[in-house]
Amino acid sequence: MITGELDLCEVNLINAAMVRQAQGQMLDEATATRLADLFQALADPTRVRILSALWVGELCVCDLAATLGMSQSAISHQLRTLRQLGLVRRRKDGQVVYYSLDDEHVSGLFSQGLEHVRHQTDMP
Amino acid sequence: MITGELDLCEVNLINAAMVRQAQGQMLDEATATRLADLFQALADPTRVRILSALWVGELCVCDLAATLGMSQSAISHQLRTLRQLGLVRRRKDGQVVYYSLDDEHVSGLFSQGLEHVRHQTDMP
DNA sequence: TGAATATATGAGCATGCATTCATATACTAG
DNA sequence: CTAGTATATGAATGCATGCTCATATATTCA
């Protein structure tokens, strides 16, 4: 058992070689944060429902609000989040703003996540 | 322009047919919540780093703590979250508990998310 | 048995976030 | 220009969550 060489914590090491290997493999802080931010965008039921509603095609804000049964303001705030992460696209037509799915990766993430969720039989 | 038929909000509809279609396509509340919970598990830099560290193979709690440079308590709390969502597996050997990746969907989600993040050139 | 070590966990705290409310902006119609 | 409508957004609020600290549990070793 080897004493930790990190000054950040006083934890002991079980397998120093594995730790070094893991440190090399592990995502750096910045990349981990950006990846976490992406998943964070999908980590809310309202945003998930918005994205699944946009599957049928572009929808304007008020139709999205009606579809979800939520206020225009709440939907608009969430669309801002989705837009900032590049998951939805805007198209303005007069005073109506249409939103649609922007990223092809989203569909992959979405279906893969759904597959995971639907294969879970023991979830509460 | 048709007045909304939902009593939940007083929003007007632009395209009632699209709204009905979107309502049929949209994930139901329960499924959306479970999907959001899954993504929530990946929506934290610490958990992302833990999962990417476990890519090299199973690691015990204190080696994970050393790898991330964080306290044993913080890591243990996060591992609990990951375990409850079925993303990591436990193996106890004496007083040491080894964790490893549990779900094959995780790797898919992970790499797809990474691909998204790495193709973004305009992110801050 | 008793000391040491690895892990788990409850409480407390600080921060983040989803919604509401009020209001601002932008466009259209008259 | 004025009224009306669609959307955006800042402030406030209630709730969730990540970390620390202290401590409990479990296992090993002497």
CATH number at A55 reads 1.10.10.10
Is residue B124 included in any domain, yes or no?
no
Question: Do both B34 and B53 map to the same domain?
Answer: no
Question: Do both B64 and B91 map to the same domain?
Answer: yes
Question: Do both B37 and B48 map to the same domain?
Answer: no
Q: What are the φ and ψ backbone dihedral angles of B25, each rounded to 5 degrees?
A: -80, -35
Q: Using alpha carbons only, how large is chain B's radius of gyration in Å?
A: 21
Band (pLDDT 50/70/90 cuts) for residue B14 is confident
Query: Which of the residues B12, B29, B38, B81 would you substitute to probe the A interface, choosing the one with the greatest number of A C-beta atoms within 10 Å?
Result: B38
Instruction: Give the closest-approach CA distance of A40 to chain B in angstroms.
Output: 5
Question: Do both B111 and B84 map to the same domain?
Answer: yes
Is residue B48 included in any domain, yes or no?
yes
The one-letter amino acid code at A85 reads: L
Q: Is A56 left (phi over 0), alpha (psi -120 to 50) or beta?
A: alpha
Q: What is the pLDDT of residue A38?
A: 93
Is residue B123 included in any domain, yes or no?
no
Domain range for A60 is 39-118
Please give the Cα distance from B84 to A114 (Å, whole number).
17
pLDDT, tens digit (0-9, with 9 covering 90-100), for A61-112? 999 999 999 999 999 999 999 999 889 999 999 999 999 998 777 888 888 8
Nearest to A18 by CA among B66, B73, B90: B66
